[in-house]
A and B are shown apart, each in its own frame.
Chain A
Amino acid sequence: MDQPVLRGEGSVGAAGHADPVAAPTPASIAPARRTPWWAWALSPIALLPLIFIVLIALVLLFSGDLKLLFEPGFWSFNFYFNPLAPSQAVWAFPLYLVGTALTAGIALALATALSLALAISTTVYLPAWLGRSLGTLTNLLAGIPSVVYGIWGYVVLAPYFGLTLQPALRSYLGWIPFFGGPLSETASGTGVLLASLILTIMVVPLTTAIIRDSLVSVPHPLLEASFALGATRWETTRRVRLRVARSGVRGAVFLGFGRAIGESVAVAMVIGGQTQIPPSIYSGTSTVSAFLLYQQDSAFIYPALLHALVEFAVVLLLITLVFNYLAQRASGERGAVGPTSAAGI
């Protein structure tokens, strides 16, 4: 038993070995101080963003006809509009809600998976310089105007989807519900699938940036403890990193969902615009935001339509505020979740 178990020789040169326990310096928070009266009195300056939100809400509430929200027709699934008798129109709001939930839901499911893969790659597996360059390229996606995604989707992707991709998907995956349906549905190329995919690409930079931030901010000692127990990088990621960063991921999903729900231009250009519950993922439908956009010129002609659209906008505002609030709740006051996250700021 005098045989040494562990024996060694050699040297380890430490060049700038960082203290593993040292936490990254947090964004400095102003130290506690006495608050003079004028700081309270002038606080509306700081609250300008809140004032805008309230203003937007009030203007929309008083511009439309709130009673509409409580009429059964507003919540019916049977759209009816006759230009000759606009007052008898039935707006079938739930139809648009279904389209919204469907496209945003698919987009977020895909975007979350993709963002997790991207964020884990850059923080765990790739060397720092490569991760940073690829991250910058991803951020560029966030800068491309939605209208450009729209025209690219409509002119470049839709013909390919209609002639090649969707018929192929239909014949191979047709046995899965919503992947089959009549062949005619696949022909135009525009529809739920294209809209969801474009939304995915549009949302990914934002969700990736937030997830990456929350993965990076997991305290180092926790990771070391996991490695010291013989966990691999993937096991440490799955069991420690993701577990600790869970709320950040949740914040990213909520924020991305809010963004996807609110996107009007790109979606309106590629979703087809039919007022229907889509029978398959290739079918055209519409979303609340898209409907608000492409009906606006008719709305200037038909006051009844304008009134209905305002109520659409009110509900949309409410839903997006809720999701954005949930995102903020999940990530703390000065959390990574913000409008500029996708630009890495």
Chain B
Amino acid sequence: MHDREVTAIIGPSGCGKTTFIRTLNRMVEMSSGLRIEGSVRYREQEIYGARIDPVQVRRRIGMVFQRPVVFPQSIYENVAFGLRLDRAPPEEVDAAVVRSLQRAALWEEVRGILKRPAFELSGGQQQRLCIARALAVDPRVLLMDEPTASLDPAGTQRIEDLLFELKREYAVVIVTHNMQQAARVADRTAFFFGGRLVEVDDTKRLFEAPRDPLTEQYITGRFG
């Protein structure tokens, strides 16, 4: 996965997309009943390395979930959550909150209501708030697990627009079950099936000339 690119992960449900993306910032360790092997490297450094704490990984590699998960706090405090952990000075927190909300294309909508509880926002706004919250700690990589799964078309559209902005500065990995979405937003696409990576290629090439017959069957809609 490359910097300043959107990589999409597609595949039928239950194929391990979510589990895969959760390995990328060691969120898998939260669930029980898992066996973890193999390696994941970030700029040639092993993120499962003995010296590396998951906390360090997750600072660098942010994540947004299927459903928007807002903390029961104000909009401002939601975005500031990660910065508060670092005891960042107030003016720095202020600046970062504004900047993150701007990048998540939410600033214009919430600038007057920063102190309101976050759950008063609409679903799409909440999801963008979650993106802003993830951006506030200045990650290099942003993992998105079906970020539009619970949104209406308008909300989905806004998130997709946002992805084009975000990839200017971040490496973005997005899991989606929607092939059109992958085709629209991703530079590269990976196809997973049965817990394995079947094929990964430039999005265009993957959709137009898949090398693996399984991929072809899937994208032409014969199963899944």
Is chain B in direct contact with chain A in the complex (CB below 8 A)?
A: yes
> Which A positions have Cβ atoms within 8 angstroms of B?
1-18, 20-21, 221-232, 235, 239-240, 243-244
Contact with A along B54-71 (1 / 0, CB 8 A): 111011011101110101
B35:A8 contact, CB within 8 angstroms: no
Measured CA separation A18–B48 after assembly (Å):
22
B65:A231 contact, CB within 8 angstroms: no
B82:A229 contact, CB within 8 angstroms: yes
Task: Kindly identify which residue among B27, B55, B81 contacts A224, using a CB–CB cutoff of 8 Å.
Answer: B27
A16:B33 contact, CB within 8 angstroms: yes
Interface size on B, residues (CB 8 A): 55
Count chain A CB atoms within 10 A of each CB in B4, B41, B66 and give the residue with the most.
B41
Measured CA separation A226–B19 after assembly (Å):
18
Closest Cβ of chain B: how far from A308's Cβ, in Å? 49
Task: Kindly identify which residue among A5, A8, A15 contacts B33, using a CB–CB cutoff of 8 Å.
Answer: A15
A224:B137 contact, CB within 8 angstroms: no
Which A residues lie within 8 Å of B61 (CB)? Answer: 6
B41:A17 contact, CB within 8 angstroms: no
A5 with B2, Cβ < 8 A, contacts A18-B31, A225-B65 known: yes
CB-based nearest B residue for A14: B19
A5 with B65, Cβ < 8 A, contacts A12-B38, A225-B71, A229-B134 known: no
B140 CB within 8 Å of chain A: yes
Measured CA separation A231–B3 after assembly (Å):
24
B171 CB within 8 Å of chain A: yes
Interface residues of B in 67-93 (CB under 8 A from A): 67, 69, 71-73, 81-82, 84-85
- Interface class of chain A by DSSP: mixed
Task: Kindly identify which residue among A2, A6, A11, A221 contacts B65, using a CB–CB cutoff of 8 Å.
Answer: A221
B58:A7 contact, CB within 8 angstroms: no
Closest Cβ of chain B: how far from A334's Cβ, in Å? 21
Contact with A along B1-38 (1 / 0, CB 8 A): 11110000000000010011001110110111111111
A1 with B41, Cβ < 8 A, contacts A17-B34, A21-B67, A232-B55 known: no
A239:B42 contact, CB within 8 angstroms: no
Measured CA separation A198–B1 after assembly (Å):
61
Give 13 pairs: A residue, B residue, CB < 8 Å, sorted on A. A4-B1, A5-B42, A8-B40, A12-B28, A12-B35, A14-B195, A225-B65, A225-B130, A228-B27, A228-B134, A230-B58, A231-B82, A243-B72
B101 CB within 8 Å of chain A: no
A4 with B65, Cβ < 8 A, contacts A12-B19, A229-B82, A240-B71 known: no
